[in-house]
Amino acid sequence: MAIFNLSHSALSLDQLFKPSSPALVGTDIGSSSVKMVELVKLGKGQFRLLRYAIEPLPQAALVDGDIANLDMVITALRQCHKKLGSNIKNLALALPIANIITKTVIIPSTDSQNELDAEVERAAHEYIPFSIDEVNLDYQVLGSAQNHTDDIEIFIAATRRDHVDDLVAVVEGAGLKPIIIEIDQHVNRIAYELIEAALPNHGRNLNIAIAHIGASAMTVQFFRDGQLLNSLDNPIGGSHLSGLISKTYGLSYTEAEQAKRKRKGLPENYINDVLQPFMDGVLNELERSISYLYSNTSTQNIDRIILTGGCASLEGLGQYIAEHTGISTAIGNPFRDMKSSKYIDTQKLLIDAPLLITACGLALRGFDA
């Protein structure tokens, strides 16, 4: 199985990673904030959360997932690392979802790795709208194709090289070192393993949907026994709700963000006129993803929905989704079974946890070797 670590990267960032390297700070640059997580390994599969930090990013810093203003991102990275208070400068990072083109394709089954690579490259050529020389490509075998036992289903992920170059530039510009660059979807799978531990019977024999709802997008990933069944991206996120609040009530974007989180200073009609349509939008996209899964795979039921990303903390969203889908819904907390340093405010961590999942998954990558 190919690992989603951009191993086909011309930069070969992975090669810089040595088993003897010190721990890495998991760093997630999202469209609304930079998040850093530092873990310590206590024993096999046991970690302690040592530190974390969140630094807001101005709206103009990332546009459509692209780093649009390098200086803004450099400043936020520097600030975030300062807040973190760690002396570890080695970072594990993820490319934002918007920078990654994903496609599930069906190709003939083969035992030869070379043939598989060639088939994937041919399929990528067909589906990825850039020259193959301009992209970093990776893939994962999902399993046998439905109704075609001689074919296999492949999940392809590709990113333009200049996205990787920009990421390296901002990290180095902040005086930090990029050691690992992953794709977002894979990191969430690593962190999923932590969430899985909280499920009945460790999630065994259950079909799980993880809806990761950030500021600009929602990614829905379906898993069974740790295997990714499918991954779909939807263009809805918390920034849409903040934008709507700002427009409806004449608030600045920052004021709207604060009002949304604290549910303070908003008129009575907020719930019906603004929040409800947003929650409906999330529900519709989620149901569409589930229908897609049912029509395109043999999976015909979902046992549990887990919400992650900043919007998972939106009051009432989990309950709304559970009521309307009839599927048991929970909020994902990657730190649930982890001890944390005594300096961490546990109440605050409970609210921040779902949006730290990517940074947490990245921090875990430091212990892979």
If the CB atoms of residues 62 and 152 are measured against ligand ATP, the closer one turns out to be 62
Distance (Å, whole) CA 8 – CA 139: 10
**Is 310 near Mg ion (CB under 5 A)?**
no
H-helix segments, the chain: 70-84, 113-127, 161-173, 184-196, 238-249, 253-262, 270, 276-296, 317-325, 346-352, 357-365
Provide the minimum distance between the beta carbon of 17 and Mg ion in the complex, in angstroms, as a whole number. 23
Instruction: Pick what 230 binds: ligand ATP, Mg ion, none; C-beta below 5 to 8 Å, kind-dependent.
Output: none
Q: Which is nearer to ligand ATP, 310 or 361 (CB)?
A: 310
Task: Choose one: 24-32, 87-95, 172-180, 270-278; the region binding Mg ion (CB under 5 A).
Answer: 24-32
Binding mask 335-354 for ligand ATP (x = CB under 6 A): ----------------x---
Residues 86-105 that bind ligand ATP (CB under 6 A): 96
**Helix (H) and strand (E) counts in the chain:** 11, 16
**Binding partner at 31 among ligand ATP, Mg ion, none, C-beta below 5 to 8 Å by kind:** ligand ATP
Beta carbon nearer to ligand ATP, 45 or 277: 277
The conformational region for residue 203 under phi > 0 = left, psi -120 to 50 = alpha, else beta, is left
Considering only residues 26, 214, 281, 332, which one is a binding residue for ligand ATP as defined by CB under 6 A? 214
Sign of CA dihedral 241, 247, 252, 253: positive
Nearer to ligand ATP, 152 or 335 (CB): 335
The interface with ligand ATP within residues 45-84 (CB under 6 A) comprises: none
Task: By CB under 6 A, tell whether 318 contacts ligand ATP.
Answer: no
Residue 134 has phi, psi (to 5 degrees) of: -90, -5
**Separation CA 305–CA 109 (nearest Å):** 32
Q: Say which residue the tokens 């559970």 belong to.
A: 322
Task: For the sheet with 46-56, list strands across it.
Answer: 177-183, 90-95, 25-29, 33-43, 46-56, 339-340
Residue 333 contact among ligand ATP, Mg ion, none, beta carbon within 5 to 8 Å by kind: none
Query: Does 163 contact ligand ATP by CB under 6 A?
Result: no
Query: Between 156 and 215, whose beta carbon lies closer to ligand ATP?
Result: 215
Q: Collapsing DSSP states into helix, strand and coil, what is residue 146?
A: coil
Q: What is the CA radius of gyration of the chain?
A: 20
Residue of 110, 83, 69 lying closest to 27 (CA atoms): 83
Positions in 25-44 near Mg ion (CB under 5 A): 30
- Residue 242 within binding range of ligand ATP, rule CB under 6 A: yes
